[in-house]
Amino acid sequence: MKCRLCDSIAVISLPRHNSAFCRNHFVEFFQKQVKRAIKSYRMLNKTDRILVCVSGGKDSLTLWHILNEFGYNTTGLYINLGIGEYSEKSLEKAEAFAKRLNKELIVVDFAEEYTDIKALARFADRTDCSTCGVVKRYFFNRVAIEKGFDAVATGHNLDDEAARLLGNILRWQVDLVQKQSPVLDNEEGLKKKVKPLFRLTEQEIATYAFLNRIDYLREECPMSKGTTSLVYKEALNRIELESPGTKHFFYFQFLERKKDVFKHLKEDKKGVLSFCERCGTPCSGEYCAFCRLTDYLSKSAQTPCEHA
């Protein structure tokens, strides 16, 4: 198999683009996709201070790498959730990559300050992944505000976004579908959040990471096993095998048409936004989701032991 643009041996086949590329032309393709994502949604400026959320996996480290290649002013953020050996290994990968880039890595030790994420999920009677999401979003925003960053960048890819869209549609979560976007702009108390890799698949990101010798943690998070998001990804992957380009068409047609689809909902007000009485985070009630979650820790400490 040869590169579509030259006679060199291709390193990757991209059926959704009816293409195959050699190393150099694939890296060029990859960079163009990220630049297009940033430009089309006005995600970032070269003067911005960008907080890159890293987990030690391929997506986040690749994001940090390419933003650094483009000359953006970046700092990494790692949140230790206390997932045993997995968290230890992922932190090592994040620290080693920060050293390679000669960039600062901010580490938030949630597990030490509060508890490990599985314990919190158990106390709150929530799934591990939903609990993790609340904690991560809270600290992404909190650190960005406290440290004066202009934007928060995450490594969400096309597979992630298409699976999320499918899940929200299957559950008819119209409010979540309406909000889904590669960019969430600044609001009072909330920093801008961007997803520069949304045009690229997991396979393409893994290939870029390999070609650029990015040493990432290859293990899947043990808490993600059996989650519905993986079921949706697998379903989309099976369709993609039979009909290449399905994920691309599904998600990008949504982005193109959602303004027209949801324009009749613009005037639908779902309550006045308030601010958490404890931490000041914007929320729809008295307390934000994070503070409601961590309340379960104090409640569990007050519960007498069954065997006392």
Please say whether the beta carbons of 51 and 148 come within 8 A: no
Please, are residues 99 and 91 in contact by the beta-carbon 8 Å criterion? no
pLDDT tens track for 122-155 = 988 888 888 999 999 999 999 999 999 999 999 9
Share the mean pLDDT of the chain: 91
The mean pLDDT value for 149-167 works out to 97
Q: Please check the confidence at residue 221 and state whether its pLDDT lies above 70.
A: yes
Instruction: Spell 92-120 as b/e; 16+ CB within 10 A means b.
Output: ebbbebbeebebebbebebbeebbbbbbb
- Domain assignments of the chain as residue spans, ordered by start: 31-216+223-272
Q: Closest Cα partner for 11 from 216, 201, 208?
A: 208
CATH number corresponding to 31-216+223-272: 3.40.50.620
- Using one digit for the tens of pLDDT, what is the confidence trace for 24-70? 999 999 999 999 999 999 999 999 999 999 999 999 999 999 999 99
pLDDT digits (tens, 9 = 90+) for 222-249: 888 778 889 999 999 999 999 999 999 9
* Distance in angstroms (rounded) separating the CA atoms of residues 198 and 60: 12
Query: Model confidence over 91-110: pLDDT tens digits?
Result: 999 999 999 999 999 999 99
Closest to 280 measured CA to CA, from 127, 142, 122: 142
